[in-house]
Amino acid sequence: MSRRCEVTGVGPRSGNNISHAHNHTKRRFLPNLQKKRIWVQELNKFVTVKLSTRALRTIAKNGTADLAKMIRDKKIKVR
């Protein structure tokens, strides 16, 4: 299971851990993903999607119309 938001496509980023002595070692910054069950009015059913919290806030603000369009265009798999 990949750590990627199904709506926005946000995935892990890379960077460095920096110690007190300024030694740099590689690390990964993982996105804050949540598995969420959302009612999509346009499809008249619940859809389970893996979202970043930023995408979840955007859906809460703007509605599920764009999410329904992505499902119909087969860009998001419905579980």
Instruction: Tell me the pLDDT tens digit for each residue of 13-35.
Output: 999 999 999 999 999 999 999 99
- The predicted structure's pLDDT at residue 23: 98
* Position 49 in a domain: yes
Question: How many domains are there within the chain?
Answer: 1
- The predicted structure's pLDDT at residue 70: 86
Residue 45, domain extent: 13-72
* Position 8 in a domain: no
Residue 52 belongs to a domain with what CATH number? Answer: 2.30.170.40
* Position 3 in a domain: no
- The predicted structure's pLDDT at residue 19: 97
User: pLDDT per residue over 53-71, tens digit each?
Assistant: 999 999 999 999 888 888 8
Residue 74 has pLDDT above 90, yes or no: no
* Position 7 in a domain: no
Question: Three-class SS string for the chain?
Answer: CCCCCCCCCCCCEEEEEECCCCCEEEEEECCCEEEEEEEECCCCEEEEEEEEHHHHHHHHHHCCHHHHHHHHCCCCCCC
- The predicted structure's pLDDT at residue 1: 62
